[in-house]
């Protein structure tokens, strides 16, 4: 079972390397975001991006894509693709977004980020593997 899970995760990671990237605003595979009070997917930033900051905190949460998630009893890791196409592994407690968001939960289908008192959910995109249940 562990070998099957490792193989599936490796295939998902490999498939993300083969997919071209573009900005989230024009990308059909851009990140999905659900916020309680804002229905916009990506906000237009009027101020310049501070290049001295880490890429995970340069832009809004919605500008990132959650490409893959690996959840086991001992480990919860996600793979994020930033607006500029770079990929980073994330864990619970990592910072994400330019409004001091902190990753508070990693699930099989999404991550949750607490930002300014709100919980924002970022769903996994580029799903190529489905979970099948056996009787």
CATH 1.20.1250.20 holds for 2-20+31-39+53-123: no
pLDDT value at residue 51: 76
The tokens for 54 are: 């880490």
- Tell if the pTM clears 0.75, that is, is over it: no
In the prediction, which pLDDT does 101 show?
A: 93
Q: Does the structure show a pLDDT above 50 at 125?
A: yes
CA distance 90 to 110: 12
pLDDT of residue 74 exceeding 50, the answer is yes
Mean pLDDT of 84-111: 93
Q: Give the domain ranges of the chain.
A: 2-20+31-39+53-123
Residue 32 pLDDT greater than 80, yes or no: no
Write down the pLDDT at residue 2: 61
């Amino acid at each position: 079972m562990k070998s099957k899970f490792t193989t599936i995760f490796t295939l998902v990671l490999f498939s993300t390397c083969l997919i071209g990237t573009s900005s989230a605003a024009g990308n059909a595979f851009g990140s999905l975001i659900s916020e309680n009070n804002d229905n916009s997917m990506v906000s237009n930033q009027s101020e310049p991006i501070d290049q001295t900051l880490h890429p995970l905190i340069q832009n809004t949460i919605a500008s990132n894509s959650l490409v893959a998630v690996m959840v086991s009893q001992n480990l919860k890791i996600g793979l994020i693709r930033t607006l500029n196409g770079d990929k980073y592994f994330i864990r619970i407690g990592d910072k994400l977004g330019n409004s001091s968001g902190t990753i508070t939960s990693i699930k099989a289908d999404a991550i949750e980020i607490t930002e300014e008192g709100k919980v924002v959910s970022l769903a996994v995109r580029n799903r190529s593997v489905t979970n099948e249940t056996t009787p």
